[in-house]
């Protein structure tokens, strides 16, 4: 990733750091419908204070990818900005139909204690962004979405250009996949039409 920077701490100490990405969405959706996914980021470390009042993510770049039943996805599109002030999303990402991925959604909010980017606000965990998934009609099964090849820079007030990144050796990445069950569209309208046709035929035969 082009945003990659290296932390100032020793690699051995980075084993105490875990950067987590998880997603939330409805457990079930109907084929042919759309649904929204919220992406969250959390940092945990013993290297500095990782409380919500002090720590936060300077930047991230993530590519949500449908790794299971990807052929069910027609499009992905970012719908909500990052909870990062003052910049938010620098890039809303681009959907690649060949890989069923929303590529390089990028968020940035500056560097703590570093002029002129003095508006950095802590927050941990944060909702990184939200995106919409559009599904094809008629295809059902288990859809899995993962965040592949991520970059995250986690820091805290007082760290300046320090902190840790997902590219640093020894950092543990906890990339939790999302599973959504795609179910068939209810057949009630078709049944109702059959009953209507049957009733019409019975009325005609009674004349």
Q: Which of 61-70, 154-163, 182-191 has the lowest mean pLDDT?
A: 182-191
What are the structure tokens assigned to 124, written together? 């941990």
Q: Are 133 and 78 in contact (CB under 8 A)?
A: no
Report the pLDDT value the prediction gives residue 120, as an integer from 0 to 100: 72
Report the pLDDT value the prediction gives residue 11, as an integer from 0 to 100: 52
Q: Which of 121-135, 138-152, 189-203 has the lowest mean pLDDT?
A: 189-203
Report the pLDDT value the prediction gives residue 15, as an integer from 0 to 100: 61
Rounded to 5 degrees, φ, ψ at 196 are -65, -45
CA nearest 59: which of 169, 150, 132, 135? 150
Q: Which of 18-22, 87-91, 182-186 has the lowest mean pLDDT?
A: 87-91
Strands 172-175 and 141-156: unpaired
Residue 188: pLDDT band with limits 50, 70, 90:
very low
- pLDDT per position as a tens digit, 99-119: 999 999 999 887 776 655 556
Report the pLDDT value the prediction gives residue 159, as an integer from 0 to 100: 83
Alpha helix segments (H runs only) across the chain = 188-206
Note if the pTM is more than 0.85.
no
Report the pLDDT value the prediction gives residue 6, as an integer from 0 to 100: 41
Report the pLDDT value the prediction gives residue 10, as an integer from 0 to 100: 53
* Mean pLDDT of the region 67-91: 86
Residue 77: pLDDT band with limits 50, 70, 90:
very high
């Amino acid at each position: 990733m082009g945003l990659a920077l290296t932390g100032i701490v020793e690699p051995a100490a980075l084993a105490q750091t875990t950067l987590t990405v998880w997603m939330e969405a409805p457990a079930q959706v109907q084929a042919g419908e759309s649904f929204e996914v919220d992406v969250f980021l959390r940092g945990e470390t013993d290297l500095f204070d990782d409380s919500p009042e002090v720590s936060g993510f300077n930047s991230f770049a993530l590519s949500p990818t449908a790794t299971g039943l990807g052929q069910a996805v027609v499009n992905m599109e970012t719908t909500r900005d990052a909870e990062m002030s003052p910049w938010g999303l620098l890039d809303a990402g681009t959907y690649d139909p060949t890989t069923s991925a929303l590529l390089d959604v990028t968020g940035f909010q500056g560097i703590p204690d570093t002029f002129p980017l003095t508006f950095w606000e802590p927050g941990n965990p944060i909702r990184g962004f939200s995106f919409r998934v559009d599904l094809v009609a008629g295809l059902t099964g288990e859809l899995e979405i993962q965040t592949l090849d991520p970059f995250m820079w986690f820091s805290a007030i007082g760290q300046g250009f320090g902190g840790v990144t997902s590219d640093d050796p020894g950092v543990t990445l906890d990339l939790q996949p999302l599973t959504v069950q795609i179910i068939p569209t209810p057949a009630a309208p078709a049944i109702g039409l059959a009953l209507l046709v049957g009733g019409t035929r019975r009325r005609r035969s009674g004349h």
